[in-house]
Homo-oligomer: A and B are copies of this chain.
Amino acid sequence: MKVGILGGGQLARMLALAAQPLGIETLCLSATTDTSAKPVSPEIIRDDNSPTQLQDFTDQVDVITYENENIPLEIATKIAAHKNIYPGATALKVAQDRLLEKKCFTQLEINTPQYSAIESQQDLNDAVAEIGLPAVLKSRRFGYDGKGQFIIRTPSDIDQAWQTLGNQALILEQFIPFQTEVSIIATCDQQQQIKYYPLIENNHQHGILRLSRAPYENLQLQQQAQLYCQRLCTHLNYVGTLAIEFFLIDGQLLANEIAPRVHNSGHWTIEGADTSQFENHLRAICDLPLGSTASRGNSAMFNCLGELPPINDILAIPGAHFHDYHKQARPQRKLGHITLNTDDNTLFNSSFEQLCPLLGIDSIA
């Protein structure tokens, strides 16, 4: 079995590492040379001028997946004419457009912040009047890590928000002054059986995920999140690993967005779950039985942005595991992650306290 992966970043890398023990080969279609995945997977460098490259790539593999939902929908459709691509085009279409995503939540009775489609400055004025302030103006497409967003706090911000983002399809959303963000990750196989990982609590800084902790133990919220997940998987005819991010406000989950792929908030599953999100994604798309998603002890995953911490210092901390993505350093770039995992709560707390300052997030915990 050979899996084609659109992309060659750290998600492709961790998929390729998980594929090896299963005897699954990978082939990445990468945008650049010297990718994160290169040391662990053969790759083809994308040539948008080649009319046959995508077909050649598709011909070489048995099934195709992707590490980023911002691939053009027509590429997914072209592939789907010849080989299975998972998650499929329906999931991809919904996940790459914030408006379709929100409409999907509404249709499936999944609580979500108030929202309104924006196609003109008049739409924006009307929507602000209806939703109230503060509100967030967001591009419908290509947003990630807080990019393409503008928080409108007072009516005087409206003009600047429109000037900044107004050249594209937009959505205005109610601003949620959330205390907590949680996510759920699940994997759905080709028989529509779903395995759910426990809820994860996430902390962001400047729109970028810095820290994920799991399991976030709350039976009622876990069941609610799983129900939402199930509705989405069924509706989207979903195959593979899926993430849903929620705001948690007044004890209620409000769905923010979905990611139709393995997700940064699930990296702790490599050490912290019986089967990692990467392995289960591969099992699902290759039509193999899914593995247990039960958590093992307590986990915290810290993103390393812009630089990697000294490996000696990290590995000296009990329960810490190092994940270097083999990427060139650039400011705020995700270069790796550190997972703390242990069954021992006292040890967890003391190691957590040691890791935070090393990873520049002493203000979060």
Contacts and interface: CB of A to CB of B under 8 A. Distances in A.
Contact of A316 (B17, B39, B289): B289
Contact of A321 (B21, B39, B296, B319): B21
Interface stretch (A110-118, A137-145, A169-177, A307-315): A307-315
A98 interface: no
The 9 closest A-B pairs by CB, nearest first: A23-B324, A289-B316, A289-B315, A21-B323, A288-B315, A22-B322, A40-B40, A20-B40, A288-B312
Interface in A20-48: 20-23, 25, 39-40
Nearest to A279: B321
Nearest to A275: B321
B20 A39 contact: yes
Given A40-B40, A296-B296, A23 B326 contact: yes
A132 interface: no
Nearest to A337: B21
A119 interface: no
A148 interface: no
A134 interface: no
A315 B296 contact: no
A326 B322 CA distance: 26
A283 interface: yes
Interface residues of A, number: 33
Contact of A22 (B274, B283, B292, B311): B311
18 contacts: A17-B21, A20-B324, A21-B321, A21-B322, A21-B324, A23-B311, A23-B322, A23-B336, A25-B39, A39-B40, A40-B40, A274-B319, A274-B341, A288-B311, A289-B312, A289-B315, A289-B316, A292-B319
A318 interface: yes
Interface in A262-308: 274-275, 283, 288-289, 291-292, 296, 308
Given A23-B326, A23-B336, 6 more contacts: A20-B39, A21-B322, A23-B324, A25-B39, A289-B312, A296-B296
Contact of A20 (B17, B274, B315, B343): B17
A345 B312 CA distance: 36
A112 to B, nearest CB: 35
Residue from A21, A283, A342 whose CB has the most chain B CB atoms within 10 Å: A21
A356 to B, nearest CB: 19
A283 B288 CA distance: 34
A63 to B, nearest CB: 15
